[in-house]
Amino acid sequence: QIHAAEHIWLPSSGPGSSTSIDSECYVGEKDCRKMGEKRRCAACHVVAHTACFSLLAKLNLNCKVTFHDHTVRKQHSKESIDGLIMHHWVHKWRLEGRCSKCGKSFQQKMFNFQQREKETTAVACSWCKESYHLKNCFDREKLEERCDRGQLREMVVPPNWILRLPNRHRNKHKQMSNRQSKRATRQFIVKPNDFAGGPSQPLLVFVNPKSGGNKGSKALHTLCWLLNPRQVFDITSLKGPKYGLEVYRKVVTQLRLLVCGGDGTVGWVLQTLDNLNWPTYPPMAIMPLGTGNDLARCMGWGGVFSDEPLSQLLQAIFHETTVTHLDRWRIFVEPNENCTLDSSEDLAEAVQSSLPLTVMNNYFSIGADAHVALQFHHSRSANPQMLNSRLKNRIAYGGLGTIDLFKRSWKDLSDYIQLECDGVDLTPRIKELKLHCILFHNITYYAGGTIPWGSESSVDSQKPSCCDGKIEVLGFTTATLVRFWVTEKEPGFGFLAPLVGIHERFTGRLQ
């Protein structure tokens, strides 16, 4: 069982590492065993050989306390008296930035041959990130000083909010119903206290480390350093965001979410919120790390995350954001009583009468676009190491679309589709234009930044919006889709529809 001040070890040379981070073993040159791989703590940036881990414990060189046990909370421990926490000071041999007292930079000192080790340059708090020259600027009274969690105090969750439930409290619910039992097995719970100094907008972070090449992993490690690591979750290792959302259920009215990944990761979080039946959904910020990032673009977060410091992104989330609403559409499927099935088609009808996802965030498509998207999903699932960057994904998408273009797989789509919008039968238009794809579009962008209906001046009706209660229905040929995926410039044929009904052979009726 982990303890509250246990280090969170990562490879010292992995994602998130930097030349500005110490590489010296923290136990010191004299005591260092110089054996094993070097690891770096994600929470306090201490570095040590694996063989030196036991020495860190003996020397009481622990990590910062990131949570409290339930019994400690009841006893009103020293760190819980006024809602503030203690500084967690870490010695540094190398440090970027400037001293919080004198304003001068930190210079790495040379090897001291008399003491047979490098001299410590600075000392820094792993909570508030204040740093001082050790010899001349650091006042030892600060060892007993309370920490306000620094510039990110309004979103950093203090350890006295995060409680680990005792085993007896978790085990006594084993005879409950399945729903109650699953909820009772949570090891942690976030429960704000009544003291002043807590965050006004605690931030819950979900990161997909597989997104954006190594940017996802780097973001995960950096956010563990900037925030409390107990508020940053790897959405893949936990097989979804449900656990993290359940832990933070009691602060839902104050909570803010940050999702680091693509549109699929954002949809994963939204789907889980739907299943949890929360009375309100917390506002969600997006760090776009996916391939298309069309939802992130629509919400104002851009299509590609630049290499700006994550501390600036976090401050922007608190100081510079406004809430934008997003329409989300539920898709209903029912059998089409007007179509006759052959015996060989019975199984296909049974399978396709239900959808794996029934809520649409970005768009829903039938035909060539849906086929290529499914092929790409299967290819990436089978070979994730081959499709691990935005550029490779776009090339693969364009390649699959080009293959469909030459195969002409969807040339007869109009024979299987009946489209009705606001009581108007638009099926003749599908046949006339020989469309290969029907797209039901909810947001402004498509295929990695394309505005599919062209420029604003080419749209005769009102400007499309992601929160107007209307959905855009568009039709494309395969050739137009390929140009979308590759050049992102070609507008397609589209028409605006507040309410849509589709009749498609074999799959039934969708509304």
pLDDT digits (tens, 9 = 90+) for 54-66: 999 899 999 999 9
What is the tens place of the pLDDT at every residue in 393-404?
767 766 776 676
Span 328-334, mean pLDDT? 83
Q: Is the pLDDT of residue 333 over 90?
A: no
> What integer is the mean pLDDT of 417-422?
82
Mean pLDDT of 144-162: 94
User: What's the mean pLDDT in 179-202?
Assistant: 73
Fold (CATH) for 160-319: Rossmann fold (3.40.50)
Just give the CATH number of 329-510.
2.60.200
Model confidence at 94, pLDDT cuts 50, 70, 90, reads: confident
Q: What is the pLDDT of residues 125-141, one digit of tens each?
A: 999 999 999 999 999 89
Position 500 scores a pLDDT of 37
Taking only the tens place, the pLDDT of each residue in 301-327 is 998 888 889 999 999 999 999 999 999
Cβ-contact 127, 88 below 8 angstroms: yes
Q: How far apart are CA 317 and CA 257, in angstroms?
A: 10
Q: Which of 331-345, 356-370, 380-394, 405-419 has the highest mean pLDDT?
A: 356-370
What's residue 184's pLDDT?
A: 40
In this prediction, residue 510 has a pLDDT band, given cuts at 50, 70 and 90, of: very low
Burial of 484 (0-12, 13-18, 19+ CB in 10 A): buried
Rounded CA separation 298/314 (Å): 20
Pairing status of strand 329-330 against strand 284-288: unpaired
More confident residue, 488 or 353: 353
The confidence band for 168, taking pLDDT boundaries of 50, 70 and 90, is low
Average pLDDT over residues 459-486: 74
- Higher confidence at residue 181 or residue 19? 19
Torsion over CA: 396, 401, 407, 410 (sign): positive
Mean pLDDT of the chain: 79
Helix residue ranges, H only, 86-214: 167-171, 178-184
Helix axes 368-382, 390-407, angle to 10 degrees: 130
At 272-304, the pLDDT tens digits run: 999 998 988 999 999 999 888 999 999 999 988
SS3 at position 117: strand
User: Mind listing the pLDDT tens digit for each residue in 346-380?
Assistant: 545 545 566 777 889 998 888 877 777 777 777 77
Distance CA 268, CA 259 (A): 10
Does pLDDT of 495 surpass 60? Answer: no
Q: Give me the pLDDT at residue 506, please.
A: 25
Using the CB atoms, write b or e for 92-127: b if 16+ within 10 Å.
bbbbeeebbeeeeebeeeeeeeeeebbeebbbbbbb
Give the separation between CA 391 and CA 397, rounded to whole angstroms.
Answer: 10
Listed range (15-19, 145-149, 227-231) with the worst mean pLDDT:
15-19
**pLDDT in the model for residue 455:** 58
Q: What is the pLDDT of residue 131?
A: 96
Summarize pLDDT for 424-461 with one digit per residue, the tens. 888 888 888 888 888 888 998 888 888 877 655 444 55
The token duo for 207 is 């990161």
- Candidates 193, 158, 141; CA nearest to 84 is 158
Confidence of residue 158 (pLDDT cuts 50, 70, 90): very high
Is the predicted pLDDT of residue 344 greater than 60, yes or no? no
Give the pLDDT score at 285: 96
- 311 neighbors 152 (Cβ within 8 angstroms): yes
Query: What residue ranges do the domains of the chain occupy?
Result: 9-64+88-146, 160-319, 329-510
pLDDT of residue 212: 74
Residue 261 pLDDT exceeds 80 = yes
